[in-house]
């Protein structure tokens, strides 16, 4: 670990090998199936979660870790660092999580009076958040100062994209997190919506609606191409309990683009609880 430690919440969907390589501290969020509680990615795997979600008569709920949990993470990181940069999911997607993280920072002024802590609102989620976290971690690993690490993270925010194809809007609609896609609710069963969380707004927005999933995937790749052009692509492909579809999308991305880095990760359960199984998506940015 460099002199600046990096942390994030479990929605960042980074491959575990990168989390381990850069010693990123991931704070798990919480999933409740009736009377049972799980820490995202710790007590329940993505595969196990989506299998249970498909069978569930009552949808799970999610909750954010309390400020004390984030303070414990700060304490842990402070043992081997001079400063901490913590990057969160968009505050407009989870205001409660952002408040918990920032309250922990206030608590740290007394508990860790000599530790500099910077909290950054990513304005996005999933792998797009992950790439912002990764930019900070890579800068820190090269010995960058606190200011330089923060600058590296913030400079990545306007570059990243998160696009996702949903099997249905019903989960988002029932959870009240549907954003501008609410206008499409009347055609829930007849479309495969493409959604995004642009960092310009920070909340879920409807992008396009397509009749079938193969057509939606084709359109998804066209949108990526429009935004990236010929530049090298950094991408994380996501899937929500459909690994074969995730592998297929990753193969198409690899064949179509000049990939500087390309990963496949499950869509983290704490977000999957709101979108349902069957999602495929891509987080990406163009190099340069």
Say if residue 64's pLDDT is above 90.
yes
Of 177 and 213, the structure prediction assigns the larger pLDDT to 213
- Say if CB 267 and CB 53 are below 8 A apart: no
Domain check: are 131 and 266 in the same one? no
If pLDDT is split at 50, 70 and 90, which confidence band does 181 have? very low
Domain check: are 138 and 219 in the same one? no
Domain check: are 98 and 234 in the same one? no
Domain check: are 218 and 236 in the same one? yes
Domain check: are 13 and 112 in the same one? yes
Domain check: are 102 and 229 in the same one? no
Assigned domain for 54 exists: no
Assigned domain for 232 exists: yes
- Say if CB 210 and CB 166 are below 8 A apart: no
Domain check: are 153 and 244 in the same one? no
Half-sphere exposure of 152 (CA within 13 A, CB side): 22
Q: What is the pLDDT of residue 55?
A: 87
CATH code for position 262 = 3.30.1180.10
Domain check: are 123 and 75 in the same one? yes
Assigned domain for 255 exists: yes
Say if residue 34's pLDDT is above 90.
no
The span from the CA of 25 to the CA of 77, in Å, is 8
Assigned domain for 36 exists: no
Q: What is the mean pLDDT of residues 173-193?
A: 57
Q: What is the mean pLDDT of residues 97-124?
A: 97
Assigned domain for 38 exists: no
Domain check: are 150 and 18 in the same one? yes
Q: What is the mean pLDDT of residues 230-245?
A: 97
Range of the domain at 197: 160-286
If pLDDT is split at 50, 70 and 90, which confidence band does 35 have? confident
* Distance in Å from the first CA to the final CA of the chain: 26
Average pLDDT, the chain: 91
Assigned domain for 233 exists: yes
- Say if CB 241 and CB 51 are below 8 A apart: yes
Say if residue 103's pLDDT is above 50.
yes
Assigned domain for 48 exists: no
Domain check: are 104 and 217 in the same one? no
Of 209 and 159, the structure prediction assigns the larger pLDDT to 159
Assigned domain for 44 exists: no
Q: What is the mean pLDDT of residues 127-156?
A: 98
Count of the separate structural domains present in the chain:
2
If pLDDT is split at 50, 70 and 90, which confidence band does 186 have? very low
Say if residue 250's pLDDT is above 70.
yes
Helices (H), 229-278: 243-256, 269-275
Instruction: Choose among 136, 116, 187: nearest CA to 12.
Output: 136
Question: What is the pTM assigned to this prediction?
Answer: 0.93
Domain check: are 244 and 275 in the same one? yes
Q: What is the mean pLDDT of residues 137-155?
A: 97
Domain check: are 262 and 194 in the same one? yes
């Amino acid at each position: 670990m460099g002199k600046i430690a990096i942390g994030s919440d479990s929605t960042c969907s980074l491959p575990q090998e990168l989390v381990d390589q850069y010693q990123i501290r991931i704070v798990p969020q919480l999933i409740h199936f009736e009377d049972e509680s799980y820490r995202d990615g710790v007590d329940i795997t993505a595969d196990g979660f989506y299998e249970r979600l498909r069978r569930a008569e009552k949808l799970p709920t999610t909750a954010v870790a309390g400020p004390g949990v984030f303070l414990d993470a700060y304490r842990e990181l402070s043992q081997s660092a001079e400063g901490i940069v913590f990057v969160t999911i968009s505050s407009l997607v989870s205001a409660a999580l952002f408040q918990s993280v920032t309250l922990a920072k206030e608590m740290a002024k007394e508990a860790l009076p000599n530790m500099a802590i910077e909290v950054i609102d990513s304005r996005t989620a999933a792998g797009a958040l992950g790439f912002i976290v990764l930019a900070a971690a890579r800068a820190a690993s090269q010995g960058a100062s606190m200011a330089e690490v923060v600058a590296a993270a913030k400079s990545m925010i306007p570059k990243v994209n998160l696009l996702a194809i949903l099997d249905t809007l019903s989960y988002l609609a029932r959870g009240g997190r549907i954003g501008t896609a609410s206008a499409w609710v009347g055609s829930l069963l007849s479309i495969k919506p493409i959604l995004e969380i642009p960092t310009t707004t920070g909340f879920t927005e409807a992008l396009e609606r397509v009749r079938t999933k193969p057509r939606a995937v084709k359109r998804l790749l066209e949108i990526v191409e429009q935004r990236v052009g010929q530049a090298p692509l950094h991408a994380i492909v996501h899937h929500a309990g459909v690994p074969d579809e995730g592998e297929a999308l990753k193969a198409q991305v690899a064949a179509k683009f000049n990939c500087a880095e390309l990963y496949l990760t499950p869509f983290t359960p704490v977000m999957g609880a709101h979108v349902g199984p069957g999602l495929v998506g891509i987080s990406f940015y163009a190099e340069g």
